[in-house]
Structure formats: structure tokens, C-alpha cells
Amino acid sequence: MNRNFARVGAVLSMRNEFAGKLGIVVTLLGLLMGVAGCGRSASAEMLAAQAAPKPGSYIDMTDVVKRPAAPWKAPVFHQPDAKPVLPSRLLIPAIQADMPVIELGWSTKKDANGAIFSEWDVADYAAGWHKNSSLPGEPGNIVLSGHNNIKGAVFRELDQLKRGDEIQLMAGGIEYSFTVDEVLIVPEKYASAEQRAANVRYIQETADDRLTLVSCWPRNDNTHRIIVIARPTGTLSQNGGATVSR
């Protein structure tokens, strides 16, 4: 009998011990699950906090689609002003003239009385740019001279020009356009000193911008000078000079 009670007690003791251990295991599992659940909740909150965009920190693509695209503007390139260079070619379509231009100086000579004077050289088979006159692109008077009946006779037809005819002067790859304003014929060979002095003013510096062409006249002699005055195209006055003045 005592042995049976002893066995029953041992069994009950073992059951209680097992139940206690099981309770500990269950408690530990519950704690682990609670910690794990806490971990999941914290991780979810952290991910949510990281994923949630701050105002103004992201681009709403639907808004981008709704906004009209800004118009495209071509880039603007500013070209520096052309540096004045020597003229290289002269074209006068009205008289079908197309000729090279070279630089000219002057020579010192003596007259019949021994007086020393300076005389401009004249280009052969070309128009000559007077080197003390303005360059294309500079303000003032651009002066070109040429033969009328010898060595190319490049200015033979100047007396056929009339007011409004166009002239193009090339320099440094740039075309400078002028419009004929006046065609003048003045005495030279037998002219008085006063007249010659007056003629010289046409090839001197001027306050206005112009192109001046000078040659001898008539075609079979050189008793006179023909002077063509052209203005930059677009600046010609409505009441310019006479077509031909003698």
C-alpha cells in the first residue's frame, strides 16, 4: 500500500515538474513572441517612416504630365564686331564691273617750275584704295581710284552710273553695300588752283560715312575728274545730288 502511494506520489511529482517546465517553456515562448512582435511592429514603423516622403521632397509625375513643356529657345551666339581690314574686291553690277582692290600710296614729284608736290599712284588692272582713307567698317570716307582708258580701264564706265545704283565692297569676307548718291565731273587739267583745291576735298576725310570712286574723264583724255559718291545702303537721303554734274 505504501509502495503504491509512493508510486502515485512520484508520478504526481513528475507531472508537476513537467507542468512547471512546460509553463516555463510557454512563458518563454510568449516572451519571445512578444519581443518578436515588438520587433515586427518597430520594423514596420521604421520602414513606414523611411518610405513616407516629406512634402516637397519628391516629384509628382502626374503633375509633370499636366504642366505644359517650356518652349525651346535656341542658344544665342554673339559675334564680335568685325575688325576693319583692307578691301579686296569691288563690284558694280550696273556697269558689270568686278575688280580686285589693292593698297595705294603716293609719289613725290616736281612740276615745271621745280616745285615739289605729291601725287597719288594709280593701280593697274585694279582699283586702288588710298591708304590714308577709311577702311570698310570704319567711319569716314573710303577712297578708291582707277584708270579710265589704260591698263585695265577698270573705271571706264563710271559716267554711266546713276543715283540709286548699288556698289559692293568686299573686305575680310564681309560685303559692304553702298548706294550711289552723286556722280560729279569737275575740271582738273586746266583748272585754277582754287578749283583743284576744291577737288581735293572729295578724297579727304569726311564727317559722314561714304565710298568715293575717282577717275579721269572723258574716256579719251584726262582733262577732268569723275567723282562718284556712294552712301551706305539704307542711308541715302530722298533729295540727293544730281545724277551727273559737269
Examine the pLDDT at 242 and tell me if it is beyond 60. Answer: no
User: Helix, strand, or coil here: 161?
Assistant: coil
Grid cell, residue 142, equals: 573710303
Q: What are φ and ψ of residue 110, in 5° steps?
A: -120, 140
Q: Is the pLDDT of residue 55 over 90?
A: no
- Measure the CA–CA gap between 219 and 31, rounded to whole angstroms: 125
Q: Which range is least confidently modeled, 66-75, 104-113, 126-135, 227-236?
A: 66-75
**What is the Cα–Cα distance from 84 to 172, expressed in whole angstroms?**
8
For the whole prediction, is pTM greater than 0.85?
Answer: no
pLDDT in tens, 123-171: 999 999 999 999 999 999 999 999 999 999 999 999 999 999 999 999 9
Residues 6 or more apart in contact with residue 245 via CB below 8 angstroms: 182, 183, 184, 185
In the structure grid, which three cell numbers stand for residue 206, read together? 569726311
Q: Are the CB atoms for 225 and 217 separated by under 8 Å?
A: yes
Specify whether the CB–CB gap between 106 and 96 falls below 8 A: no
Expressed in percent and rounded to 5, the helix, strand and coil fractions of the chain are 30, 30, 40
Given a contact cutoff of 8 angstroms between Cβ atoms, the answer to whether 240 and 229 are in contact is no
Band the pLDDT of 71: cuts 50, 70, 90. Answer: low
What is the model's pLDDT at position 24? 46
- Name the 3-class secondary structure at 190: coil
pLDDT score for 25: 41
Query: Could you please report the per-residue DSSP string of 25-80?
Result: HHHHHHHHHHHHHHHHHHHHHHHHHHHSPPTTSS--HHHHHHSPPPPP-PPP-PPP
Which CA distances in Å does 32 have to 19, 21, 29, 43, 44? 20, 16, 5, 16, 18
> 133 and 141 in contact (C-beta within 8 Å)?
yes
